[in-house]
Amino acid sequence: MGAAQGGFVGLLVWRMRHFQVEEADQFRLLAEENRIKIRLIPPARGQIFDRNGLVVAENVPSYRIMIEQEEVVDVDDLIERLGRIVNLDPEEIERAREEMRRTRIHPVTLADRVTWDEVSRVAVNAPALPGVHPEVGLSRRYPMLEEYAHLVGYVGPVSDYDLERIEAPDQLLRIPRFQIGKVGLEQRREDMLRGKAGTKRVEQNAAGRVIRELNRREGEPGKDIQITTDSHLQSYIHARLNGESAAVVVMDCETGDVLSTVSAPGFDPNLFVRGISVADYKALLDNKYRPLPNKSVQGIYPPGSTFKMITALAALENGTSVPDDTVYCPGHLEVSDRRFHCWKRAGHGNVDLGKSLQESCDVYYYEMALRTGIEKISEMARRLGLGVQHDLPMTSVARGLVPDRDWKRETRGEEWRIGDSVNASIGQGYVLSSPLQLAVMTARLATGRSVTPRLIKSIDGVETPTGHGEDLGLNENNLRQIRRAMYDVVNTRRGTAYGSRIITDGMRMAGKTGTSQVRNITTAERAAGVRRNEDLPWERRDHALYVNYAPYDNPKIAVAVIVEHGGGGSTAAAPIARDVTLQALYGEDPPLDAYPTKDRARIKELQARLREARPDYRAGARDRA
């Protein structure tokens, strides 16, 4: 018995020694893990500024109430007690419960955007609320609201979809409601804007209450990005497009800087930052003017007569035509037993290159297509920036479509027909382009260089390369012929854009109107008389387009405008482009003597109305949220 008792005591002593000496470090670590917590410190997201240094995406302090599940015995009881101290949103609580079911290692937000008074009440009652602690963080805010919604985009809480499409996601992304870029520049430059997390070690008592912070390692804030747009011009264009479903792109002809890109109508990106409500999202989806897509780079449309410069230049460059060649237009052209009509039923008579662009004769370009062929026309279109997906950090930048024989054979299993070339010559048929591509085309025609659009001006103060571009290698005399014809479109009485001319010397513009059909006109309707756009439902009216550059003799900016279902380019798009061009050239509301006398009273009233509708960012009125 004595030997057995002695052996048992010896065994106990040996086990005690094993735990207290040999395993001491392990148990000390476990104790430390219970007492000390390591928490990630989310980095400050990089801010976004316009070319003049105005903030378009910023970080603002946000108070929230967090819960550490590991430190809570009864979550339901704790939430009930917390609800007696502060007001808790039932939807917010349900969302928090869902997040708690998905993770137990990260704090979960119970209440967001709480007041300082509510934070104080939680802090005072902390001993009775183990696992609950208030926290101050940063949240994204877009002070310019809808004016930059499509360009900058917005951030939102990380979703399961976000985690699935990211290979080896950062631990930051697993923090509930951590915000990442969802669309626009915020999404395309997430890697730069997010930054890197820091860490802090905190000591807590048995109840889970933080006693002190032991140490902290700061993370790296995201990079600040300066974009090329001018908020003053952006604001003006947004106000000018009020009530339209439209898009405008303004480019600097020298550097390729995108001075403005506006898609109307817009939306408030702040609604998406913490999760948009079902009612608000449904209202955006049900709007027939489609406020969510970015029409300026994502929307693709038949370019209509704005494509005619490409057809003409292809014919000139390939020697199938010279500027003095004339074509007789009786109002139509017979091709393979099919009649292709000119927009002017009675025809234009004999037209050369200059008159064909000035009066937008379709038959002239039908003939140029027959002489030149679709391959040469498509090659010239790509050379001038159509059918190319320009590398801009925006969501869903469209490639558009410049068709040729191979494309039709591969995608439709059909051979190219001569009628397809005729349709393509005037920007109809299969041809599709975005307003951004039309602005690039216009800048390249104006300069003869491969001007490339640039949206990011600098990153953390370091300038990015411009899009000045190299010489396109086109015959300068041919380019001069096209430019002169575009000048006549606007500045001669028979020009289709004469009503939207600029009369100030040194500011005159060269441009081209366009109208693209969205419906087929039957033979019966043509015989009875084509119905006017005003007599059609809105969604069946033609799209209105206009492109221009200015000044004519010293190109500084290129502009592209599309008004969805606006009717004629000369009546709907050209007046907008003229106003935008003058605003961009002057940098402020232009003098009334830049406009024709008959327009000045209307323009004066328009300018006054637009000044009231938009903030003056130059006066420091930046915070509109």
| Catalytic residue positions, numbered | 305
Among 130, 136, 133, 158, CA closest to 70: 130
Residue 155 in 3-state DSSP? strand
Alpha-carbon distances, residue 207 vs 85, 129, 210, 303, 617 (angstroms): 19, 9, 9, 68, 51
Whether cis (ω within 30° of 0) applies to the bond prior to 615 is: no
Residue 300 CB-density burial (10 A; 0-12 exposed, 13-18 middle, 19+ buried): middle
CA separation for the pair 296, 319 (Å, rounded): 35
Residue 289 in 3-state DSSP? coil
CA separation for the pair 506, 503 (Å, rounded): 9
Among 270, 231, 199, 252, CA closest to 43: 199
Give the amino acid at 455.
L
For 266, what's the count of Cα atoms within 13 Å in the CB-facing half-sphere?
A: 29
Among 570, 548, 475, CA closest to 248: 548
CA separation for the pair 201, 229 (Å, rounded): 43
CA separation for the pair 203, 68 (Å, rounded): 14
Burial 208-228 (b: 16+ CB within 10 A, else e): beeeeeeeeeebebbbbbbbb
User: DSSP for 40-86?
Assistant: EEPPPPPPEE-TTS-EEEEEEEEEEEEE-GGG-S-HHHHHHHHHTTS
CA separation for the pair 420, 412 (Å, rounded): 13
CA separation for the pair 456, 50 (Å, rounded): 9
Contact assessment for residue 503 and residue 551, using Cβ atoms and an 8 Å cutoff: no
Among 389, 390, 393, CA closest to 459: 393
CA separation for the pair 485, 491 (Å, rounded): 10
Whether cis (ω within 30° of 0) applies to the bond prior to 43 is: no
Neighbours of 517 (CB within 10 A): 13
Q: At 127, phi and psi to the nearest 5?
A: -60, -30
Helix 231-240 crosses helix 574-586 at what angle (to 10 degrees)? 160
